[in-house]
Amino acid sequence: MQLDAAWRSHPGLVREHNEDAVLCLPQEGGTSFFAVADGVGGAVAGELASGAVVDAIRREYGNVRGRHPAERLARLIEQANAALFGWATQRPEYRGMASTVVAAAIFHDTLYVAHVGDSRAYLVRRGRPQRLTRDHSYVAEQVAAGQMTPEEALVSPYRHVITRSVGGQPEVAVDTLGPMNLEPDDVLVLCSDGLHEVVSDDEIALATRGSAAESAGTLVALALDRGGPDNVSVVVVRSTP
């Protein structure tokens, strides 16, 4: 199975700095890696945090032992968490630095995902988008507990409050998914909250129109058309026979 992959990232129309970081490494005959990380803690600290997470996956994946790719991704995220927390406690200018991350590894026709925070992974199959990840956020937990409706969550003043991050605490729990078999024409979408805050789950199906590059551009353009209130980043990966 071949992969058509592309990414787009934009600071949005409100923020001056882009604190998102993206990894898009399709490989021929090996494991392909993709990630979106959304940094918090201010421009310098946020950019450093998100960049450190994706760099750890890019540089160290082959050096980490694990039973399968999702476990390896989780261990790398745990290592990045320890490093970021250490920097934040030792240097005042990095205090409060942290990042979300959603990462995917694809080996042949099998998908593995690891994530922390509210950056998301979707799988679009036969035109129907399915959210693979569950946000680690205050509003998501309230919805799950029946204390808030999904509609209320969309406009809640607390919708940006994440309850789990990379670097926020000495240790982090990483959620993993997989193995999941990919079918021809499946589309994987990874994105930061700057996209899914203004683009609905159903509209993620736009990722099936055109090439991966065209689809990524369409999704980011849609977020910008709706005000671009945050940094917006997306990776689109289409499986082809």
Max mean pLDDT among 1-5, 10-14, 67-71 falls in: 10-14
17: three-class secondary structure by DSSP: coil
- CATH number where 123 lies: 3.60.40.10
Residue type at position 167: G
pLDDT in tens, 179-197: 999 999 999 999 999 999 9
As beta bridge partners, residue 101 has 37, 116
Q: Is the pTM of this model over 0.85?
A: yes
Which residues make beta-bridge pairs with 123?
130, 188
72: three-class secondary structure by DSSP = helix
Given a contact cutoff of 8 angstroms between Cβ atoms, the answer to whether 101 and 119 are in contact is: yes
Which range of residues forms the domain containing residue 166?
Answer: 2-240
* Predicted pLDDT at 160: 85
DSSP for 137-184? BHHHHHHHTTSS-HHHHHH-TTTT-BS--BSSSSS---EEEEEEE--T
Strand ranges for 43-163 from DSSP E: 98-107, 110-116, 120-125, 128-131
Mean per-residue pLDDT, 82-88? 93
Residue 224 DSSP symbol:
H
- What backbone phi and psi angles, to 5 degrees, belong to 112? -130, 140
Is-cis flag, bond preceding 179, omega within 30? yes
List, for residues 42-83, the tens digit of each pLDDT value. 767 899 999 999 999 999 888 887 678 999 999 999 999 999
26, containing H or E segment: none
Total tally of structural domains belonging to the chain: 1
The Cα 47–Cα 150 span in angstroms is 30
Q: For residue 172, which amino acid is it?
A: V
Report whether 227 contacts 198 (CB < 8 A).
yes
Beta bridge partners of 190: 121, 235
Check residue 196 and give its pLDDT: 96
